[in-house]
Structure 1
Amino acid sequence: MNYEIDQQKLSEQIILTARKTAVVSGLYILLVFIIVFVLYAIGLFLLFDSPKEFFRLSNPVLVEELLVSKATEIMLLNMGVSMLMHYFLSGIYGIIKKGLVLPYSDISNAFKSIFSKQGLKVLNVIVLVQMVSTGFSYLLDLAGFSLVGFGISLLLQFLTYFAIPAIYIANSGVRKSIQKSISLVNQKPGFLIFFISVTYFLSLIGILFLGIGIILTLPLNYIVAYSLYIHISEQID
């Protein structure tokens, strides 16, 4: 499963994909953020015995007490919301996939993707990775090694970088997609760490520009992952 990266060809693929799908993908990301924010607010609200307590969160003392008394509930809420966010955001691959073969791709393609059989496989991958990651982080945090737990979480995310594209593009199963992702990452870990880190940095820069900057740059992570997987698949499949 050896492969080489043709940087010029990959750059052309990324630019082409961004031109066709960046705006729609960016708008979809904003929609997902709104949905996740509402769900998280509802989740926090349900942690309180009364609405009055919820609206007293402006008091820093009460926030600290909440973090201590409801640490487990908050951890589970964060894990659940994180799973939903990653699941909904994976729909961007549906926008990209259709956008490259059709004249126009809209937000509906994202929802069609996540609510398909492939979407259910993606959900299984996300749940598995998040549960393992959260479990390790929680146990290591209790032992006083929170930074180690954070590092393991990043490593799991890195090793499964290609798992979701493998499902949406190659229709791989859950186990095969994870195995394939780990194999591809292990081929060129140094290059991929640098490349993915730069991608995340450029993606987050858009937040500083607000408005159109957010819409155009936030989808970059997904566009690059999709383009990278296509570029590699042409050599190994």
Structure 2
Amino acid sequence: MSPTDSRPRLAFLGGERMTGYGALLGRWRWRQAYGSGEKAVDVPADALAETIFAGRDVWLAVLNSGAVPLPGESAPAPEVGRIVVSSTVRSPPPQAHTLRELEETRMAAGPGGIGEEAAAILFRGADFPARPAESAAAYIQRLARDATVRAFHPGLAALVLDAAGEDRAEVTRLFPRPIRRLLDVGCAGGEAGGALKREMPELRVTG
């Protein structure tokens, strides 16, 4: 799908709630990788699927906009009656600390994303009619879980980052003790600050 006019329509599931910097950056990454701005739409999770995904358009529905799409050859339009589910890299290589380093690092993606764990799915709306009154969220999750029509292609792969709120022990163990103040500048600082705060309630975290 390298030609611009053959790119899929991008649908960000639950996109109307994406207001944070991380979510906005993630959406930009998906638009850069797979679709032009005018083809990207926010789809409320409770919207009627039949009013959005009907027709002959090929859709790339993004369930996890925080995942980082991996560069490379774009996945072609799916075969009739098939859905391409994003392959998954579970964690970044230890030497990659920035998006540029992630983009320049060769990572092997495996066909592990199904159901809610899939970062995105590629499908043709006309091949999969929505059920009566089916919500967009239920429709997309139903397609992603259907093993009978699921396929994988190396051109659709994403790095799924650690969930926010994890303690990040590999980071917190590097901090000297005791700590009275911590300036959070991002890049795992929030998770580390939260973990240290639980360990040391008197800690003041700024940022």
Give TM-score scaled by structure 1 length.
Answer: 0.26
Determine which structure has the larger strand proportion and give its number.
2
Give TM-score scaled by structure 2 length.
Answer: 0.28
Determine which structure has the larger helix proportion and give its number.
1
Which has the higher relative contact order, 1 or 2, with Cα contacts under 8 A spaced 6 or more apart? 1
